[in-house]
Chains A and B, each alone.
Chain A
Amino acid sequence: MAGQSSQDKNDERFGYHGKILIVDLSTGKIHVEHPPAAFYEDYLGGLGTGVKYLIDNMAPEVDPLGPDNILGFVPGILNGTNVPFGGRWTVVGKSPLTGTWGDANSGGFFGTELRKTGFDALFVKGISEEPVYLSINNDQVDIKPALDLWGMDTTEVEEKLEKDLGRTKVRVASIGPAGEKLSLISGIFNDKGRTAARSGLGAVMGSKRLKAVVVKGDQKIQIADPVGLKEFKKEALEPMKLRPSRLTKIMMALTKPILPWLIKKGLLSLDDVGVMVEGFGKHGTSMLAAASVEMGDAPCKNWSGGGSDDFPMKKASSKISDDNITKYKTKKFACQACPLGCGAILKVDKGPYPLEETHRPEYETLAVFGSVLLNDDAESIIKANDICNRSGLDTISAGTCIAFAIECYENKILTPEETDGLELTWGNSEAILGLLEKIGKREGLGDILADGVRIAAGKIGRGAEAFAMHAGGQELPMHDPRLNPGFGTTYITDPTPGRHTQGGAGFLEFGFYIMPFKGIEMSEVERYQYSGKGEAHALLSKAQIVEDAMGICIFAGMFGGSPYAEMLTAIMGKKYTNDDLLKIGERAQILRQVFNVREGFKPSDFKLPDRVIGRPPLTKGLTAGVTVDVDTMAREFFEAMDWSIGTGKPSSERLELMGLPEIARELHGEGKGA
């Protein structure tokens, strides 16, 4: 397949290149499109331009694993500008796991490197006859054979491509064997362990026989006001200075016996944000995992247990939290443009699961392979994370599938013959890892579980559905609505069901205001008050979507608001306010919802398992006795968004207001939206 060079119109533009790359793997055709300025100004990048492109170019009801599903690799518009926390990129497509709109985002360096090639996005359609990989070296784009890569794990692929291409710092996004085998719980991996895990988009890549995308570039993003941007970046980095200095730490160590007295007298104080910067920088999301279990945020025993009783901090959860994970750390890992570095590379020297180099498990992984499975063996969780990263599995879904299997086994729905002899009992780390390997390879019971719990329950039957913890087919994240009901609302109202990183009132209930935009203040909410949160939920949803369009890390807001609107203005040379950003977020969120409406989904299609909302309520743990009313919260969210709770359709008035008259006409007919 001969390489093709793109044709750049080379107009002056700020904040974007003005080129997107389209590859059809069925025909081998590669071409470049030059979207109008409004494509960028109204949708920015990442999730925003991703959904805009698919809405405009993909027909409804395509087979998600067929040639007509378009898989997009879309950097956030801040990728490549070195704006703090601006290194996230997004994968978009129709989810084969849920049949809905699908997206997932990842950190690392791939998104920025893709932008450095001179393309703002890559969209892939069609299906190649043979396995291939895509090489993008600035404007040189080639579809190359990948028969020798097929079957390799994601780490092996990265290492081989780096070696074969002889280029330093190529960045690779790839699938593992799970994606090749069309596991619907597979993701797309970069930097040997940063993952666009959710929505099953690894299977979409596998269906196209696209093993990897390799990018290398040196194109710069033109900045409209570089001096102004520099000043705003300084402001955004201010919270990082609150990290305790070495001198402060030494003083703290020396005065340890009288520290309480010093603090009480006001002679020593440490800013809360500084503590967060320090702790989060050191432990990442493993920080306070034990407390999450203890309080009931992390689900326990496949959502049937109470953390403080079934996986108590003193005996169990502390073993898989912060210092007991960080003790394996050999070096820090920070994504591109991240001033904090919440990632880490670990080494496990001895024991049954030695690993020379692997990424630290994130909180979601610690919880799903820990409290959900009643497994307090930290090294087995580190190994499970490594297996998922290499084979290309989403840890949340894979762990949930194993919990489902254990409960089926416990209830004699699965027999020892069906588990290939694996003794699937709670906390049996050896069996957990054994089954995980089988899922990655689609062997035996693993073949059934590799498509997620909903499909597995349908295949197994015999009442297995009762143990399948999912929303709309996607396994649930590790934030229990019985503690923070707003998460449950997000799980069933976001156009990609079963997601926790799509914003919503759960963050408010939790008390961590993940709002990175300086100047947007959120009101306090009562945890178990169900009415009156719709507007806040909608606002946080819009904010999260525009964060994903910009490529901002979800954790940016933990350290206070930053002048992102001002930074975007400096980059684009077009004035943006917080209201403008929220409008962009809403517009993209509407298009995600429209995608589902086109597919025939209604809000009532998405429900949480009874167990997850406390029907019946737990009898143990801090959330014992709690039954949550997510229906009221969901209804009020739809009202706040001006979407029909019956059909899911955004109102024609709202569509007009968002500058989407053509969608208004499509959904509501001629004359109503015009």
Chain B
Amino acid sequence: MAVDVTINGTFNLGLVRKNLEIKVSQPISFEDLLKKVEKQTGIQVHQLALSTRGKTIFSLNSKIIQPSTDLSCEVRDGDQVKILQALSGG
């Protein structure tokens, strides 16, 4: 059982673009999933979600997650999570 996670942005060490699978044995909250991503990658996405100003987009199954209100939503096996950053104004 796994959640498909895509990360693309400037995180901690530079430009990151990666896809990874996060193992989950049962449904977990989005916040807990971010903690698992953080543990596996070293990218402080959980902390980022708590402090984000919109610069980082979090999504679950093609729906944007608002970190201020949606961190408790449930993530299940087979779900797709994206953590994205982009430039504006280019």
* Residues of A in contact with B (beta carbons under 8 Å apart): 244, 252, 259-264, 269-270, 272, 275-276, 278-280, 283, 285, 287-292, 294-295, 297, 306, 308-309, 313-314, 318, 321-323, 362-364, 478-479, 483-484, 500-501, 506-512, 514, 524-527, 554-555, 558, 620-625
Contact = CB atoms under 8 A, between A and B. Distances in A.
Interface in B1-15: 6, 8-15
A321 B15 CA distance: 11
B24 interface: no
Contacts of B63: 622, 624-625
A128 B22 CA distance: 68
A558 B14 CA distance: 16
A101 to B, nearest CB: 20
B52 A511 contact: yes
A260 B54 CA distance: 24
Nearest to B64: A622
A633 B6 CA distance: 33
A527 B9 contact: no
B57 A313 contact: no
A275 to B, nearest CB: 5
Given A263-B42, A308-B82, A501-B89, A276 B62 contact: no
Contact of A362 (B41, B44, B59, B90): B90
Contacts of A259: 13, 42
A314 B19 contact: yes
Given A283-B15, A623-B64, A288 B41 contact: no
28 contacts: A252-B13, A259-B42, A260-B40, A260-B41, A261-B42, A263-B44, A269-B12, A275-B10, A280-B87, A287-B15, A288-B9, A290-B17, A295-B86, A308-B62, A314-B19, A318-B17, A322-B17, A500-B89, A507-B89, A508-B54, A510-B55, A511-B53, A511-B56, A512-B87, A512-B88, A527-B54, A621-B62, A622-B64
B54 A288 contact: no
B84 interface: yes
A280 B19 CA distance: 22
B10 A364 contact: no
A252 B59 CA distance: 30
A509 to B, nearest CB: 6
A285 B66 CA distance: 26
Interface string B60-90: 0011101000000000000000101111111
A478 B53 CA distance: 21
B14 A279 contact: yes
Contacts, number: 137
Most A CB atoms within 10 A — which of B13, B66, B86?
B86
B53 A620 contact: no
B89 A288 contact: no
B89 A624 contact: no
Nearest to B80: A308
B6 to A, nearest CB: 6
A623 to B, nearest CB: 7
Give the size category of B's interface with A. 35 or more
B17 A484 contact: no
A294 B5 CA distance: 13
A275 B85 contact: no
B42 A291 contact: no
B88 A484 contact: yes
Interface string B16-59: 01010000000000000000001011111000000011111101
Contact of A507 (B9, B17, B52, B88): B88
Nearest to B42: A260
Nearest to B40: A260
A583 to B, nearest CB: 24
Contact of A511 (B15, B44, B54): B54
B15 A279 contact: yes
Contact of A288 (B10, B44, B52): B10
A291 B88 contact: no
Contacts of B11: 275
A624 B14 CA distance: 30
A509 B15 contact: no
A523 to B, nearest CB: 10
B12 A263 contact: yes
A514 B9 CA distance: 18
Interchain residue pairs A-B with the least CB separation, the first 6: A260-B42, A511-B55, A363-B90, A285-B90, A511-B54, A292-B86
A364 B55 CA distance: 19
B42 A288 contact: no
Given A260-B41, A524-B53, A294 B8 contact: yes
B62 to A, nearest CB: 6
A287 B89 contact: no
Contacts of B84: 291, 294-295
B13 A263 contact: yes
B62 A620 contact: yes
A283 B15 CA distance: 10
B55 A291 contact: no
A148 to B, nearest CB: 37
A483 B59 CA distance: 12
Contacts of A297: 86, 88
Contacts of A500: 89
A514 B64 contact: no
Contacts of B90: 285, 362-364, 478
Contact of A295 (B17, B40, B44, B57): B57
A291 B9 contact: yes
A494 to B, nearest CB: 14
B57 to A, nearest CB: 4
Contacts of B44: 263
A288 B86 contact: yes
Given A260-B41, A291-B84, A295-B84, A509 B54 contact: yes
B20 to A, nearest CB: 12
Given A308-B82, A511-B56, A313 B15 contact: no
A554 B19 CA distance: 32
B34 to A, nearest CB: 14
A279 to B, nearest CB: 5
Contacts of A554: 89
A237 B44 CA distance: 28
A263 B13 CA distance: 9
A314 to B, nearest CB: 7
A285 B86 CA distance: 10
A292 B87 contact: yes
Contact of B8 (A260, A291, A501, A514): A291
Contact of A512 (B17, B43, B57, B89): B89
Most A CB atoms within 10 A — which of B10, B64, B87?
B87
B6 A285 contact: no
Contact of A622 (B38, B41, B57): B57
A621 B84 CA distance: 13
A288 B87 contact: yes
Nearest to B7: A291
A261 B64 CA distance: 29
